[in-house]
Structure 1
Amino acid sequence: MKTLKRIGTIVISVILWAIILLAALYAFTTMATKDDQSVSRILGYTPMTVESDSMKPTFCKGDLIFIKKCDTSKLKEGDIITFHTIIDNQYALNTHRIQKIDEVNGVRSYTTIGDNNNGVADQHVISDGDIVGKYVGHISNLGKVMSFLSSSMGFLIVIVLPMLLFFIYQVYNLIMISIRLKKAIAVENAEELAKAGLNKADVEQAAKDKDEAQAALEEAKRLREEAEAIRAKAEKELEKAKQDEDKNGEE
């Protein structure tokens, strides 16, 4: 029973730690998708949530795409890239297909277009320094989950709540350990007291036996002295009787 309980405790701890680690990973990746100035990466990949249907049907709004850092010199027309640009007068990240590559004096520039933009290219031409990475794949609708995780409610549910539950569980575990320890100490003290009580009784009994033995010895000594006194008296009487008998014989 104790073994099963111990295994259950370990399993719960592992699950809670896994939730916290996954939550931390989600938090990192969602922050990466929201940061337009510097893009974070996990093992060289950046997960991003698609915010529009400009690339439909390749991927759609709410999908989670994966961008990998790349060598821009190896990019070619038709590749899908993520890059820094201006959208609605705001600095943002965009993911579109390379429509055309121009090179002047070894400097490349890229014209991009969305697959669902009816053949209308993007307004801003980008350079190598604007490119974050190359699109390598996506997971449908997972971006909605990432968007939720990047929200205040998602952070509360995925980060704060698991950590709170883990903290509560650890406090409960410490309390139970403390209770079991106190119980074990109480049992041990009770056993020691019982043992001490038994030893005390043995000592008292031994003292009592010693007193009785001493009393018996004194009684035996007294009886011996009385017997010797009686014997001495008898010998004296016998000697007197013998003397009287000798005296009467002489007369």
Structure 2
Amino acid sequence: MEEKKDKKGRILAAINIILCIILIPVILMNVTVIISSYIHPDEIPGIFGIKPVAVLSGSMEDTFMTGELIFVEKTDTSLLKEGDVICYLMEGQAVTHRIVSIEQDEEGEDFYITRGDANNTEDRETVRPEQVQGIWNGVHLAGMGNFVIFLSSTTGMIVFIICPILLLIAWDVIRRWQMDKKERSRADELEAELKALKAAQSEREKAELEQ
């Protein structure tokens, strides 16, 4: 019986560890992204300088496809060169295109001419360094862009932030209840043993008196 209880306890402990390993990083990443988006509303939220970007159009096919998730890294814009794929904000929307040329305005400030790999013409709007969110690091994950879009929605936040937190709280409550139950059971066993010992002692004392 005790062996079964110990085995069950080990299983529950393993489940607890697995849940923590899975849920805590998810919660922390989501909270970090949300806080970052509020602190810097004019920037794409990211973690440790790496920003996930969902691909919403086919302007860069076949370099990466619609619905994919790409990652861009913060960069020193003075180091950008022709051929780099950059992500920048244009009227509040993230655009990831390739630099086809770097030019300077009358004041000697750089600006970038960009074009999508699948497009035949250059983008009408030029890009300023302050618009650049990062340079594409070459990583792209098929189908994950749609997941990120869902994650940023109200439903996604409920599913991947609120639900994991509630699950962790519920699990902790259950674990503590089980520990308390085990302690109460052990206390009851000790109390029963003590009563048995007292009863035995009383019987011995009674027998000695009768003699």
TM-score past 0.5 threshold: yes
Aligned position for 1:56:
61
State how far apart, in whole Å, the 2-side matches of 1:98 and 1:33 are.
Answer: 26
Q: Which amino acid aligns with 1:54?
A: S
Aligned position for 2:135:
134
Aligned-residue identity in percent: 30
* Runs of at least 4 residues off by over 6 Å: 32-35
Aligned position for 1:16:
19
Relative distance call for 1:22 and 1:204 in structure 2 (3 A) is: same
Count of residues in correspondence between the two structures: 204
2:95 paired with 1:76: no
Give how far 1:29 is off: 7.5
Give how far 1:36 is off: 5.6
Q: Which amino acid aligns with 1:185?
A: A
State how far apart, in whole Å, the 2-side matches of 1:29 and 1:141 are.
Answer: 23
Aligned position for 1:147:
149
State how far apart, in whole Å, the 2-side matches of 1:38 and 1:173 are.
Answer: 41
SS of the residue corresponding to residue 126 of structure 1 reads: coil
Give how far 1:83 is off: 1.2
Relative distance call for 1:29 and 1:49 in structure 2 (3 A) is: farther
SS of the residue corresponding to residue 98 of structure 1 reads: strand
CA contact (8 A) 2:37 2:43 kept: no
Q: Which amino acid aligns with 1:102?
A: E
CA contact (8 A) 2:84 2:135 kept: yes
State how far apart, in whole Å, the 2-side matches of 1:21 and 1:197 are.
Answer: 52
State how far apart, in whole Å, the 1-side matches of 2:150 and 2:142 are.
Answer: 15
Task: Provide the aligned C-alpha RMSD in A.
Answer: 2.4
CA contact (8 A) 2:85 2:97 kept: yes
CA contact (8 A) 2:29 2:47 kept: no
State how far apart, in whole Å, the 1-side matches of 2:159 and 2:74 are.
Answer: 31
State how far apart, in whole Å, the 1-side matches of 2:186 and 2:119 are.
Answer: 74
State how far apart, in whole Å, the 2-side matches of 1:76 and 1:130 are.
Answer: 16
Length-normalised TM-score, structure 2: 0.84
2:152 paired with 1:122: no
CA contact (8 A) 1:49 1:147 kept: yes
Give how far 1:61 is off: 1.8
Q: Which amino acid aligns with 1:16?
A: L
SS of the residue corresponding to residue 57 of structure 2 reads: coil
Aligned position for 1:98:
99
Give how far 1:103 is off: 2.4
Length-normalised TM-score, structure 1: 0.72
CA contact (8 A) 2:87 2:96 kept: yes
CA contact (8 A) 1:29 1:47 kept: no
CA contact (8 A) 1:77 1:101 kept: yes
Q: Which amino acid aligns with 1:200?
A: S
> Could you report, residue by residue, the CA deviation over 1:123-144 in whole angstroms, capped at 9, with x for unpaired residues?
2222222211111121121111
Give how far 1:167 is off: 2.3
Give how far 1:60 is off: 1.9
Aligned position for 1:184:
186
Q: Which of the pair has more CA radius of gyration?
A: 1
Aligned position for 1:160:
162
Relative distance call for 1:67 and 1:26 in structure 2 (3 A) is: same
Q: Which structure's residues are more often helix, by fraction?
A: 1
State how far apart, in whole Å, the 1-side matches of 2:182 and 2:135 are.
Answer: 58
Q: Which amino acid aligns with 2:104?
A: E
CA contact (8 A) 1:96 1:114 kept: yes
